[in-house]
Amino acid sequence: ILNKYKNFSFSKTKIEKDVKIDVPAGSFTCTKISPMKLNEKEFKNKSQMSMLFSNDENRYPVKIWLTMKYGSLVLELNKITN
């Protein structure tokens, strides 16, 4: 990932399959993706991130969570509309 301030390199992505999760939109079986730093050390602000996508043909973003040194952010799929 490249931006005008820093160049970040991620060579590792941890992938977990068939993770079962319940969110307000229902129950899903997901694939969990967690980016990791190249040298496996912690990020500067001790942050961690995971994204869970449904295993169906739609690949809905079911849950995204980010934890940092002083707080966290959790996004969950609330409902699915057409």
pLDDT for the residue numbered 38: 66
Provide the whole-model pTM.
0.76
Q: Give residue-wise pLDDT tens across range 44-72.
A: 666 788 999 999 999 999 999 998 888 89
pLDDT for the residue numbered 17: 95
Positive or negative torsion for Cα 65, 73, 63, 24 = positive
Q: Give residue-wise pLDDT tens across range 3-30.
A: 555 555 556 788 999 999 999 999 999 9
Q: Which of 20, 19, 26, 18 is nearest to 77 (CA)?
A: 26
Residue 72: C-alpha distances to residues 45, 49, 68, 69 (Å): 12, 10, 6, 8
CA–CA distance, 40 with 64 (Å, rounded to integer)? 21
Strands 61-68 and 71-76, by their bridges, are antiparallel
pLDDT for the residue numbered 35: 84
